[in-house]
Structure 1
Amino acid sequence: MESAWSKNELDQVEDCPKEQANVKFNDFHLNEIGQITTPTVVQNEPTVTWTTENGKLYSIFMTDPDAPSRAEPKFREWYHWGVINIPGTNIKEGQVVAEYVGAGPPEGTGLHRYVFLVYEQNEKVETSDKIGMVMKGRDTQKIQDIAKKYKLGCLVAAACFQAQYDDYVPLLYAKFQ
C-alpha cells in the first residue's frame, strides 16, 4: 500500500495505513488508489468499510489536498466529510462533524485527489463540532490537525480517487448555503 501512496504523492498522510478502505458509490467501486472517476458519480455519500475490532470506535474523513488546484494547492486541503464515533463500520450510527460534499474541482484545474482516512479512536470523542452544507471553514481544516484535536488513534485504512470538473460541479456549488 505504501508504494500506491507514494505514486499518488499523498504526503498529507503521516503513517501508511494498514489497508485500503472499501469505498463504493452506487455502482462505482473504488478498486485502486488514485482511480479516476467523475463528480457526477461521487455526488452522494459512499458506503465505506474496513477491518474493525469488536467494541472499537472509528472516525472517517475525506479531504482534497489539491484545493484549489494540484498546480497551486494554496489551501492544501479542503474538508469534504467527517464522521466520528463510528461503531465498527456503521457510519450511519456515527456523529457527523462535517456533512458530505462530493468532488467539486473548479473548471480548468485538472484532476484533484480525494482521500478517505479512517482512524481507530482511543476513546469516544465528545464534541459539538459540525460543519453543515457551507463552504466557510472547509478550506482551513487539516485532517492531521483534526486527528490530533480529537486525540484519534492510528490510521487503519485509507482510499483515494481522482476527479476533475464535469457538468455536475455547478449543481454542487448551488447546494451551498
Structure 2
Amino acid sequence: MATGLITNVSSIFFKCRSIVFTQLQAKGISSTMNKFEEEKIVPDVIPVAPKEILKVTYSGGLEVNLGNELTPTQVKDKPSVKFNGNPNSFYTLCMTDPDAPSRKNPKFREWHHWLVGNIPGFEIEKGETLSEYIGSGPPPDTGLHRYVFLVYQQPGKLTFTEPRLTNRSGDNRGLFKISKFAENYKLGNPIAGNFYQAKYDDYVPLLYKQLGA
C-alpha cells in the first residue's frame, strides 16, 4: 500500500511540474511576442512575432535581451548566435535595422546588417554568407535604432540570387525587406528572434570609414 501511495504522489508531482513548466513556457512566449509588438517590430519589420527567443551574445558576454540598449562600440564584432535547430533542416539568419536613417524618418527601411542562408542545423559558421556582418552605425542625433535578429526555417537547401556583400561597403544594404525576402523564398514566419537598441557613439565614424562613407 505504501508503494502505491508513493507511486501516486510521484505521478502527481511530475504532472504538476509539467503543468508549471508549460505555463512558464507560455508566459515566456507571450513576453517575447509582447516585446516585439510593444516596440512596433510587428508590423514595421514582420507581420508575426517569433515564439522563441534567439540567444545573441557579443564579446565580453554582453547579451541581447528584447530591446536592451547596447552601444555601437559593444556590437562592432560579429556575435555568437544560438537557437534550437534541427540538424536535418536549413535556416536563414538576418539582422536588420528598420530605423534608417531614424525611427521618425525611416526612408531607407530596412538597412540590413547581416544575412546568412543555408545554415545546416544550428551551425551558423557553416551557412552561406550573403551579407557579411556590419555592426550598428546610427547617424548622430537620430536617437535609438532597433536592431532585429530573426531566424527562419527554410523549406530545404536554397539557391539565393542576392548579391554577395562584404563588410567594406554599405552598397545594396538599404531598402531591404526581410518580410519580402522571406516571401520570395517561402520561409514563412520567423521561428526565433531578438533585438537590441543603439544610438550614435564615437565608434560610428570609424565604421563609416570602413564602409567608404
Q: Show structure 1 runs of 5+ residues with no match.
A: none
Match for residue 199 of structure 2 among 155, 164, 172: 164
- Give how far 1:128 is off: 5.0
- Give how far 1:26 is off: 1.2
- Contact 1:30–1:161 at 8 Å: present in 2 too? no
* 1:34 maps to 2:70: no
- Contact 1:64–1:115 at 8 Å: present in 2 too? yes
* 1:174 maps to 2:209: yes
- Give how far 1:32 is off: 2.2
Instruction: State the AA in 1 paired with 2:125.
Output: K
Instruction: State the AA in 2 paired with 1:6.
Output: E
- Contact 1:28–1:41 at 8 Å: present in 2 too? no
Structure ranking higher in helix proportion: 2
RMSD: 1.3
Instruction: State the AA in 1 paired with 2:93.
Output: I
**1:79-131 CA-partner distances (Å, limit 9, x unpaired):** 11100000122111000011111000001111100000100010111125312
Superposition misfits of 4+ residues, deviation over 6 angstroms = none
Give the match's secondary structure for 1:174. helix
Give the match's secondary structure for 2:153. strand
**1:131-165 CA-partner distances (Å, limit 9, x unpaired):** 22321211121111111222224311001000000
1:89-128 equivalences under 5 Å are 89-127=122-160
Instruction: State the AA in 1 paired with 2:210.
Output: K
Q: TM-score, normalised by structure 1?
A: 0.94
Distance in structure 2 (CA, Å) of the matches to 1:125 and 1:48? 21
Instruction: State the AA in 1 paired with 2:37.
Output: S
* 1:60 maps to 2:63: no
1:124-163 equivalences under 5 Å are 124-127=157-160, 129=162, 130-133=164-167, 134-163=169-198
Give the match's secondary structure for 1:5. helix
Give the match's secondary structure for 1:147. helix
Indicate the structure whose relative CO is greater, using CA pairs within 8 Å and at least 6 residues apart. Answer: 1
- Contact 2:57–2:64 at 8 Å: present in 1 too? no
Aligned to 1:77: 110
Match for residue 3 of structure 1 among 34, 44, 59: 34
Q: Pick closer, same or farther for the CA change 1:148–1:70 going to 2, 3 Å.
A: same
Distance in structure 2 (CA, Å) of the matches to 1:32 and 1:167? 23
Q: Show structure 2 runs of 5+ residues with no match.
A: 1-31
Aligned to 1:22: 55
* Number of matched pairs: 177
